[in-house]
Chains A and B, each alone.
Chain A
Amino acid sequence: MMNPSQHALRDITRRHFFSRCSVGIGSIALASLMAERGAAAPAKPMRNPLEPKPTHFPAKAKNVIFLFMAGGPSQLDMFEHKPQLTALNGKPIPESYTAGKRFAFMDSSHRSDLLATKRSFQQYGQSGAWVSDLLPYTAGIVDEISIVTTCKTELFNHAPAKLFMNTGSGLFGRPSMGSWITYGLGSECDDLPGFVVLQSGPRGPRGGAVLWGSGVLPTTYQGVPLRNQGDPIVNLSTPPKVNPTQQRQLIDAVRELNLKRLVETGDEEIATRINAYEMAYRMQTSAPELMDTSGETADTLNLYGIKDPQESSFARNCLLARRLVERGVRFVQLYDTNWDHHGGPTENLEQHLPEKCRDIDQACAGLVLDLKQRGLLEETIVIWGGEFGRTPMGEVRESTGRNHHIDAFTMWFAGGGFKPGQVYGQTDEFGFGPIENPVHVHDIHATVLHQLGIDHNRLSVRSQGLDFRLTGVEPAHVVKGLLT
Chain B
Amino acid sequence: MRWKLAPWICLAWTVSTVTAEEPISYNRDVRPILSDNCFACHGPDAEHREADLRLDTFEDATTVAIVPGDPDNSEVWARVTSDDPDMLMPPAHSNKPPLTEAQRAVLRTWIEQGAKYERHWSFEPPQRAETPTDSHPVDYFIAAPLAKKGLAPSPPADLTTLLRRVSLDLTGLPLTPAEADAFLQAAAQDPEAAYSELVDRLLASPHYGERWGRWWLDQARYADSNGYSIDAPRQIWKFRDWVIEALNADMPFDQFTVEQLAGDLLPEATESQKVATGFHRNTQINQEGGIDREQFRVDSVFDRVATTGTVWLGLTIGCAQCHDHKFDPITQKEYYQFFAFLNNQDEPTMKVFGSHMDVPSLTAEFKDVEAKMAAYMQDHAVDLAKWEANLTPEIKKSLSAGVTNILDMPVEKRNFAQNRALFASGIGAVGPFRELNDRYTELDTILNQGVTTMVMKELPKPRKTTVFIKGDFTRPAEEVTPGTPAVLHPLEPAHELPNRLDLARWLVSPQNPLTARVIMNRVWQQYFGRGLVETENDFGMQGTLPSHPELLDWLAVELIEQQWSLKAMHRLIVTSHTYRQSSADRPELQEKDPDNYLLARQNRLRLDAEVVRDAALAASGLLSRKLGGPPVYPPIPDGVMNVGQVKRVWAVSPGEDKYRRGLYTFVYRASPPPSLTVFDAPEGFSTCTRRIRSNTPLQALTLMNDSGFFEFAAALEKIIVQEGLETAFRRCTTRAPKPDELAVLSKLDTLTAARVLLNLDETITRE
Contact = CB atoms under 8 A, between A and B. Distances in A.
A428 interface: no
A13 interface: no
Contact of B671 (A109, A173, A208, A272): A208
Contact of A49 (B537, B695, B747, B761): B695
A208 B695 contact: no
B697 A253 contact: no
A208 B745 contact: no
Interface in A229-267: 229-231, 233-239, 241-242, 246-247, 249-250, 253-254, 256-258, 260-261, 264-267
B250 interface: no
Interface string B631-662: 00000011110111111000000000000000
B539 to A, nearest CB: 9
Contacts of A269: 604, 606, 695, 761, 765
A466 interface: yes
Interface residues of A, number: 86
B637 A253 contact: no
A250 B541 CA distance: 50
Nearest to B743: A256
B698 interface: yes
Interface string A31-45: 000000000111110
Nearest to A246: B752
B686 A207 contact: no
Given A43-B594, A465-B535, A253 B695 contact: no
Interface string A145-182: 00000000000011110000000000111000000000
A353 to B, nearest CB: 18
A276 B538 contact: no
A105 interface: yes
Q: Which of B319, B670, B740 has its CB near the most chain A CB atoms (within 10 A)? A: B670
Interface in A403-425: 403-404
A104 B296 CA distance: 13
Interface string A208-223: 1110010001111000
A227 B641 CA distance: 12
B524 interface: no
Given A105-B289, A157-B288, A272-B695, A206 B228 contact: yes
Contact of B95 (A256, A276, A458): A458
B629 interface: no
B502 interface: no
A208 B643 contact: yes
A210 B286 CA distance: 14
A293 B643 CA distance: 24
A250 B680 contact: no
Contacts of A109: 290
Q: Which of B291, B310, B695, B762 has its CB near the most chain A CB atoms (within 10 A)? A: B695
Given A172-B685, A208-B231, A457-B95, A220 B701 contact: no
B226 to A, nearest CB: 11
A113 B674 CA distance: 46
Given A203-B647, A209-B671, A257 B756 contact: yes
A396 interface: no
A224 B702 CA distance: 13
Nearest to B540: A465
B767 interface: yes
B288 A159 contact: yes
A219 B683 contact: no
Given A209-B672, A219-B692, A246 B701 contact: no
Q: Which of B231, B543, B705 has its CB near the most chain A CB atoms (within 10 A)? A: B705
A484 interface: no
Contacts of B585: 40, 42, 265-267
Given A207-B228, A220-B696, A257-B741, A235 B583 contact: no
A239 B741 CA distance: 25
Interface stretch (A277-285, A301-309, A322-330, A368-376): A277-285
B606 A210 contact: no
Contact of A236 (B586, B699, B701): B701
Contacts of A277: 697, 700, 759
B740 to A, nearest CB: 7
Contact of B604 (A204, A219, A267, A284): A267
Contacts of A253: 744-745, 747-748, 752-753, 756
Contacts of A40: 585-587, 589-590
A42 to B, nearest CB: 8
B53 interface: no
A239 B590 contact: no
Contact of B697 (A157, A239, A280, A458): A280
B537 A464 contact: yes
A451 to B, nearest CB: 19
Nearest to A70: B645
B93 to A, nearest CB: 8
B710 interface: yes
Given A260-B741, A280-B698, A464-B538, A207 B752 contact: no
B319 A276 contact: no
A227 B638 CA distance: 10
A82 interface: no
Contacts of B753: 253
A1 interface: no
A54 to B, nearest CB: 17
Contacts of A480: none
Contacts of B670: 204, 207-210
A247 B286 CA distance: 45
A206 B761 contact: no
Contacts of B589: 40
A209 B645 CA distance: 10
A269 B762 CA distance: 11
A229 B707 CA distance: 17
A249 B638 contact: no
A108 interface: yes
A477 to B, nearest CB: 13
B114 to A, nearest CB: 28
Interface of B: 95, 227-229, 231, 284, 286, 288-292, 310, 316, 318-319, 327-328, 474, 535, 537-538, 540-543, 583-587, 589-590, 594, 604, 606, 637-640, 642-647, 669-672, 674, 677-678, 680, 683, 685-686, 692-702, 704-707, 710, 740-741, 744-745, 747-749, 751-753, 755-756, 759-762, 765, 767
18 contacts: A40-B586, A44-B594, A49-B696, A106-B292, A108-B290, A172-B686, A203-B645, A204-B642, A235-B637, A235-B674, A238-B704, A239-B707, A247-B704, A257-B760, A258-B762, A276-B696, A458-B95, A464-B535
| Closest 6 pairs (CB-CB, A-B) | A208-B670, A266-B585, A206-B229, A465-B542, A172-B685, A208-B644
Given A203-B647, A208-B231, A465-B543, 10 more contacts: A40-B589, A41-B590, A213-B683, A231-B638, A254-B760, A257-B756, A464-B318, A464-B535, A465-B538, A466-B542
Interface of A: 40-44, 49, 102, 104-110, 157-160, 171-173, 193, 199, 203-210, 213, 217-220, 224-225, 227, 229-231, 233-239, 241-242, 246-247, 249-250, 253-254, 256-258, 260-261, 264-267, 269-270, 272-273, 276-277, 279-281, 283-284, 337, 403-404, 457-458, 463-466
